[in-house]
Amino acid sequence: MNRFLLLLTIFLVSMLFTGCDEATTKANIAPGSPHSPSPAIDAGNVAITVQLQWNCEDEDGDDLTYTVYMGKTTTMQIVASDLTDSFYQTETLDYDQRYYWKVQANDGTDTTMGARWYFETVTEDLPPTVPANPIPANGSTEVSLNQLFRWYSFDADGDLVSYDFYLDTNADPQIFAENLTDDQISIQGLEKHTTYYWKIIAKSRDLQTEGPIWSLETEYGNYPPDIPNSPTPHNAAINVSTHTNLSWVCSDPEGDALSYDIYMGTDADPQLIESGFNALTYDLDDLEPSTTYYWRINVADAENYVEGPIWYFTTGAPNHPPNAPSMPRPEDGSIDESVYAMLRWTCSDPDGDELMYKVYFGLQPVLTESDVIGLGITEQNMDLGILEFNTTYYWKIVAHDGELITNGPTWSFTTEFTN
């Protein structure tokens, strides 16, 4: 019995050592090649963020880890390693790009490199750009009541763009026109002096881009002319000349052509004396002395009529023109006058007004403005300097009392012969 137990023990020990030797000598089998890629080989329109997947088996049932290679060319770089799952989530890829990738499996002892796969990402479809560059500019005022609205937007893919136009007096504008094919729209008949809000939604394919909300304020329409002002004679003036004329200042905000109705008389409610006058100065006939006159100017543009205030002035004593200049020196028609000549004359004013003189001097009997050699002279003489010998000269004097003028006659003299 003891012998039987001994033999059994020896047999079991022998079997134990035999099993250990067989396990030690058994070879490891490398992982199978990764297969069944997703995306599939030569797949197109792949999203730019994609999960790469594959299958892989190990005959020995070993646990596997994976290294993923990827690149835009066949020369690929490691993008992930020691993965324990058979998938990899990529970073954001480029649009419209071919990518190559492959997977290496590792069972802890051996590695197996899979085949090279590839796919192409989707072509980008960009939405239109944000509508910009509004006309009228954001915040514009005095905008025309008949206005062309314009903006700028485009599609980087070259897709056709259409526009929805929103316009309202509410800060959240409602749609006004849809599917415009041009980046502009003409709107007629906006309300005067009104704030409008507007925006654009640009659309291409199934994408759209909403623009900001812009605002504008319309004009008043046609502004009336300014009230006539700055009268001459000034309001309440006294001792106004009986030869005075009326003048005033007036303008129009839009620069419209203006016409005037002129009222004047000795009554405090003056009567119309001229209609549709288009200048700012009105010539009067001689007025009565020591008389109060009332006047006003009404002004009109193409659409508006504005009444001016009533002004008044009082005339003084009548003004008479200066007496004619006389007593010329050199005497009229004299000869053999010195070439060192001086002009002298005499003149007076019946009202005792101070006089100024305009002096004409030339070589022709008919004197023109080009012959004027003195203006605003207050003395009754003028030095001529050195004249030519044996030459006939013509001259005249015009007297001015500040309001009225009197032309003197044309005189002449001849200088001496040279020695």
Provide the token pair at 269: 């409610």
- Predicted confidence (pLDDT) at residue 230 exceeds the cutoff of 90: yes
200, 121 Cβ separation under 8 angstroms: no
> Half-sphere exposure (CA, 13 Å, Cβ side) for 125?
12
Q: In terms of DSSP bridges, do strands 292-300 and 65-71 run parallel, antiparallel, or are they unpaired?
A: unpaired
Pick from 273, 290, 287: nearest CA to 403 = 287
pLDDT band with cut points at 50, 70 and 90 for residue 22: very low
Query: CB neighbours of 55 closer than 8 A, spacing ≥ 6?
Result: 34, 35, 36, 86
Q: In terms of DSSP bridges, do strands 43-46 and 117-121 run parallel, antiparallel, or are they unpaired?
A: parallel
Range 2-12 average pLDDT: 59
Architecture of the 35-121 domain: Sandwich (2.60)
- Predicted confidence (pLDDT) at residue 232 exceeds the cutoff of 50: yes
Segment among 129-133, 149-153, 157-161 with least mean pLDDT: 157-161
> Has domain 132-218 been given CATH number 2.60.40.10?
yes
Domain boundaries, the chain: 35-121, 132-218, 229-315, 326-415
Provide the token pair at 48: 């730019």
- Choose which CATH entry (2.60.40.10, 2.60.40.1180, 3.40.50.20, 1.10.3080.10) describes domain 326-415: 2.60.40.10
CA 269 to chain centre: 49
Range 365-375 average pLDDT: 96
Give 90's DSSP letter. Answer: -
Report whether the peptide linkage leading into residue 136 is cis, meaning its omega lies within 30 degrees of zero.
Answer: yes
> CA 73 to CA 401: how far, in whole Å?
103
Query: CB neighbours of 284 closer than 8 A, spacing ≥ 6?
Result: 244, 245, 246, 264
Fold matches, 229-315 and 326-415:
yes
> CA 403 to CA 169: how far, in whole Å?
60
Task: Report the residue count for the chain.
Answer: 419
> CA 296 to CA 213: how far, in whole Å?
49
Query: CB neighbours of 313 closer than 8 A, spacing ≥ 6?
Result: 233, 234, 235, 236, 237, 238, 240, 244, 292, 293
Range 185-195 average pLDDT: 93
- Predicted confidence (pLDDT) at residue 402 exceeds the cutoff of 90: no
> CA 335 to CA 390: how far, in whole Å?
9
Segment among 42-46, 297-301, 323-327, 335-339 with least mean pLDDT: 42-46
What are the strands of the beta sheet with 326-329, ordered from one edge?
326-329, 340-346, 381-386
> Taking all residues of the chain, what is their mean pLDDT, rounded to a whole number?
92
Pick from 55, 37, 32: nearest CA to 111 = 32
> CA 204 to CA 329: how far, in whole Å?
96
- Predicted confidence (pLDDT) at residue 4 exceeds the cutoff of 80: no
pLDDT at 403: 86
pLDDT band with cut points at 50, 70 and 90 for residue 20: very low
The string of DSSP codes covering 245-314 is: -EEEE---TT----EEEEEEESSSSPEEEEEEE-SSEEPPPPPPTT-EEEEEEEEE-SS-EEEPPPEEEE
pLDDT at 158: 79
- Over its C-alpha atoms, the chain yields an Rg (Å, rounded) of 54
Range 228-242 average pLDDT: 95
- 262, amino acid identity: I
> Half-sphere exposure (CA, 13 Å, Cβ side) for 167?
20
235, 311 Cβ separation under 8 angstroms: yes
> CA 119 to CA 114: how far, in whole Å?
16
Dihedral pair phi/psi, residue 72, rounded to 5°: -85, -10
Query: CB neighbours of 125 closer than 8 A, spacing ≥ 6?
Result: 157, 159, 205, 207
> CA 113 to CA 195: how far, in whole Å?
71
**Overall pTM surpassing 0.75 (yes/no):** no
Burial class (CB in 10 A: 0-12, 13-18, 19+), 32: middle
Q: Which fold has domain 229-315?
A: Immunoglobulin-like (2.60.40)
- Predicted confidence (pLDDT) at residue 78 exceeds the cutoff of 60: yes
208, 179 Cβ separation under 8 angstroms: no
- Strands (E) in 156-269, as ranges, are 162-168, 175-180, 184-187, 195-204, 207-210, 214-218, 229-232, 237-240, 246-249, 259-265
Q: In terms of DSSP bridges, do strands 411-415 and 392-400 run parallel, antiparallel, or are they unpaired?
A: antiparallel
List pLDDT tens digits, range 248-285: 999 998 899 999 999 999 999 999 999 999 999 999 98
pLDDT at 23: 47
